[in-house]
Structure 1
Amino acid sequence: MPEGHSVHRIARQFSHNFVGRAVAASSPQGRFAEGAALLDGRVPSLVRAVGKQMFMSFDDDLWLRVHLGIYGAWDFAGEITLDPTIASANGRMGQTNQRGTDPVFDDAGENSLTSIGAPRRARGAVRMSEQTKSREDDTDATWPPPVVGQVRLRLLTDVTCADLRGPTACQIQTADEMLATVAALGPDPLVDDIAVGEERFVTAVAKKPTAIGQLLMDQKVVSGIGNVYRAEMLFRANLNPHTPGRDVPMEVVRGLWRDWVVLLQVGVETGQMMTMDGLDADGYRRAMASRDDRHWVYHRAGLPCRVCGTEIVLEEMAARKLYWCPRCQA
């Protein structure tokens, strides 16, 4: 499932490439035909991400709400102008300062530092979901690009195309409906005042007998955290995922929020869920080039813990895979 950093990156790309430009909206798949008809010809004025959801404002009190869910993704094609906060990600990893590091392509073919690449016209596409990927198709120079697969919504300016596939939610909302949706979500460090968000998070966790490993995935408690960040944050806090929220010491809960503030910003800037600290230049490059070298425990079931050597455990928690070290997180 796309996690919060991906949705913020998508929102920023829409802000740079669609806001202020009239869009032609269509639903090639047909499942969003009425909604697309309402948006067709309108000019988006604002795009915001909250957790795993994106909201795009149009005139006449119309908002487009998109929740990618597990399988959803946006594909961008045409002239794509990079968000400067993303384009300048070289050297701003958060926990490291790798200025001058050359772009790194990971084992999935992704430029891990700039993630989207240079502006391109009709020959390239950028897929934005949990892991941003780029692909080039030198044989296709048509504009607009042909529809591929089940496209729920296509938004098209004169030079840029965005195709939405497989979302959990794609709907038109009024401003009041949008605000109600956002109000039901937990705090997001890139949306809410960080100090206020911390208090909301601490208060919510302190009330709950639910395991902290489940609470971190509850979007009503905190926005944007998914399976990867959940596992990594719990390990970084040396916290047993089964500990009831109300039994987690307050200073540890505050530490979780503050860690999320840092990790989310790193994810937005780099396009990667980079969760390891203290890497030298070579270690950093390996981590950015390979997802297997990027995390402490996630996707490492049966492998030795990077800290203590104990075998990493894989179990199910609320129907989602949970990775943790039974010694470091005892």
Structure 2
Amino acid sequence: MRVLAVNAGSSSVKLSVVDGEEVVEGVEVPAERGVWGPGVVEEALAGLPGADAVGHRVVHGGREFVAPVRLDAAVVERLRGLAGLAPLHQRASLAGIEAVGRVLPGAAAVACFDTAFHAGLPGAAATYAVPERWRREWGVRRYGFHGLSHAYASRRAAGWTGGERVVVAHLGSGASLSAVLRGRCVDTTMGFTPLEGLVMATRSGSVDPGLVVWLQEHAGLSVREVGEALEERSGLVGLAGTADMREVLERGDAAAVLALGVYVHRLRAGVAAMASAMGGVDTLVFTGGVGENSAEVRWRAALGLGFMGVRVDSVVNAGLRGEGEVSAAGAAVRSLVVRAREDVEIARGVRAVLGG
């Protein structure tokens, strides 16, 4: 079964035709805050080979959607109801469903959720220590995100090394970690929203919740102002004035040095926390734009994880292009670079629902 994988995000729409584990052809359409020009998706689809079914990446499945599901009008309406949990990303996903549906109205379509891979988190990892009413009535819990990427990378790593305890570092404009024990996610860094956890390109990652209250009560900032600042003007851009890790690494000024230091400090701490959730780690995986392409970030992360058995070969790491192993000889933990393949994972989910 050939599957058209649709990954509609805040900065682009990626369209890929996937046959088995291989991408036959793909195209990326630029977007601005989840909005693209009229007719551009339709035009892009016209240039791609035919597919038997369509799979859509949907960021948030809430408590209801914990596995891929076939799309119909009722499901789409329920997905709209979840938009408040991830407004920018959910709107983009829904817009992609609508645009592709206009071009391929008769094609079977499946929603594949970024939260689904984390739906089975143990209670201790999924639960916030907040009032019971919040958890019961409003579904306040740690959902986790980037699940399609974590699912693919952890499965690829397990097949590569045979290790049962995998930490996946998805490092892109958004960034998160997961602890995957024998194929099951047992901890992750993102939580109720994609804002929790690591420092990202424009997102702050975890901050003291008391800070948010203080900014509203004492600095006079509105809910919207605080939210937009933490989502769009924090992270690398807040520290160094740029969201591009390549620029941060090239510069030697104090702001860039601090930004890189904060980024790596949080990354190391997060990897150690993920390992602790499994009683150790056998394989560390780097994926995503930064994880795949920044040898410097991989090297710096590994330098602080030697106590866990992580050691990277500096020559192999610096010279790697694409996928590969960057472990130093004799390292107790194997370190891999795996290409992010959310499109392949989407296609896998579609086949699980439709067969074929």
* TM bucket normalised to smaller: under 0.3
Q: TM-score, normalised by structure 2?
A: 0.26
Q: TM-score, normalised by structure 1?
A: 0.28
